Amino acid sequence: MKVKKFFAVSFVLLSATLIFTSCGTSSNAEFSSNGEWEEEKAEKSETPSWTIYSRQIPETNFWEFKIEGSVEASPVACVSSVKANLYAEAKNKKKFPTYDFVQDSKDSIQTYVIHNEPFPLKDTEMSVLYEFDESQANRAAVKWREAWEKCDIESTKKLNRVEVFRGTWEFEEEIVGTSSAINTVQFDLKGMPMSLAKPMVQKFLINGLKDLKKRNE
């Protein structure tokens, strides 16, 4: 029982480290990659089916993972769903004791968020800018990145500041009422073995696609 408890706690801590605190220390840099995507995992029997790919960004410690699937909704509806989820998350005070909308417009939303972490980790703080592209009827996208240059809140030793947090959702209409959906995330392993990081990132991406589908049912 103690062994099982140890591994359960370790998994929670590693998950928190990967998703929230190991995203890097270089702020507001733009990353590009000429690396080739490699297929990591695929599931064709589920609805929606999906495939996960990965690649390392040259000359950095950053990796990119992406999941490709589909959602039974238009690209614009998918983006609207992502927006609506931001407002829904703001109401979850157990998970987010602070969730402020610093700036809110049709094309972008900036948030300042404090996220509760399991003991003994410090709670994390994030300043994230979400940008929405709905300029085309058959395509739409959401891009997010850290936005500390737009936030005047000073760092504190009580909170672990996430310096880099970025990714994209891209939607393109396949047939009327159905869109391809690609979610890409970037992160720094920070010394964590890929054998531990990979299943966590895969689970993060799979759950994200499933949640998006549920919100559009």
In the chain, count of helices (H) and strands (E)? 3, 10
Query: Which DSSP state fits 59?
Result: T
DSSP string, 68-96: EEEESS-HHHHHHHHHHHHHHHTT-TTT-
177: alpha, beta or left? (left if phi > 0; alpha if psi -120 to 50): left
| Residue ranges per structural domain of the chain | 2-215
Contact at 8 Å (CB) between 164 and 132? no
2-215 domain in CATH 3.30.530.20?
A: yes
Please give the single-letter amino acid code of residue 216: N
pLDDT for residue 12: 42
6: alpha, beta or left? (left if phi > 0; alpha if psi -120 to 50): alpha
pLDDT for residue 196: 86
Q: At what angle do helices 75-89 and 194-215 cross, to 10 degrees?
A: 110
Sequential pLDDT tens for the chain (217 residues): 443 333 333 334 444 444 443 333 334 444 455 678 989 888 877 666 899 999 988 877 788 999 999 999 999 999 999 999 999 999 999 999 999 999 999 999 999 999 999 988 899 999 999 999 998 989 999 999 999 998 999 999 999 999 888 999 999 999 998 999 999 998 887 778 888 888 989 999 999 999 999 999 8
